[in-house]
Amino acid sequence: MHIHFDLAQLNWLAILIATAAAFVLGGIWYGPLFSKPWLQAFGFSEEQINQRHPGKVFGKAILWTLLAAIMLALFIEADADLHRGAMTGFFVGLGFVTTFMGIHYAFEGRGLKILLINAGYSTLALTLMGAIIGWF
């Protein structure tokens, strides 16, 4: 594995498209697919969520997603393809993100259901981002 340290060598178009794709996936994942169990698991009401400033919430989410795409791109070889990129994203998601979420959730007393929702999104999003970055 080769990690790029020169940010100029990264494919910025792929990173931006990967960011947008993961953001859209998040809207679907935490919207129609899992909004109710997610709200329930954290004890939030829809009113509480709707009181948050959407510009701040979505702005932060986009920035964090962009940072994740940049970090992932550092691990994907320049000659990678869609499959190699997707597998890199999958293993980063499952191997690093999910395991550390599991540690935090164990200490926080959170259940498996919310871990599967949050880590499932993270792993799927990183897989999608990796596929896009690898494809480009």
> pLDDT tens digits, residue range 72-88?
999 998 899 999 999 99
Q: In sequence order, what DSSP letters do the residues of 42-100 get, joined into one string?
A: HT--HHHHHTS-HHHHHHHHHHHHHHHHHHHHHHS-TT--HHHHHHHHHHHIIIIIIHH
> pLDDT tens digits, residue range 100-119?
999 999 999 999 999 999 99
Angle formed at CA 87 by CA 85 and CA 90, multiple of 5 degrees: 110
Give Cα 60 to chain centroid, integer Å: 13
Which pLDDT score is estimated for 53?
86
Assess contact for 129 and 71: CB atoms under 8 A.
Answer: no
Q: Tell me the longest C-alpha to C-alpha distance in the chain.
A: 47
Residue % of the chain over a pLDDT of 90: 81
Which pLDDT score is estimated for 42?
87
- Alpha-carbon span 103 to 122, nearest angstrom: 15
Residue bearing the bigger pLDDT, 52 or 6: 52
Instruction: Give residue 78's identity as a one-letter amino acid code.
Output: A
pTM for the whole thing?
0.92
pLDDT mean across residues, the chain? 94
Residue with tokens 């897989």: 127
43: pLDDT strictly greater than 90 = no
Which pLDDT score is estimated for 125?
98
Which pLDDT score is estimated for 64?
98
Domain boundaries, the chain: 7-135
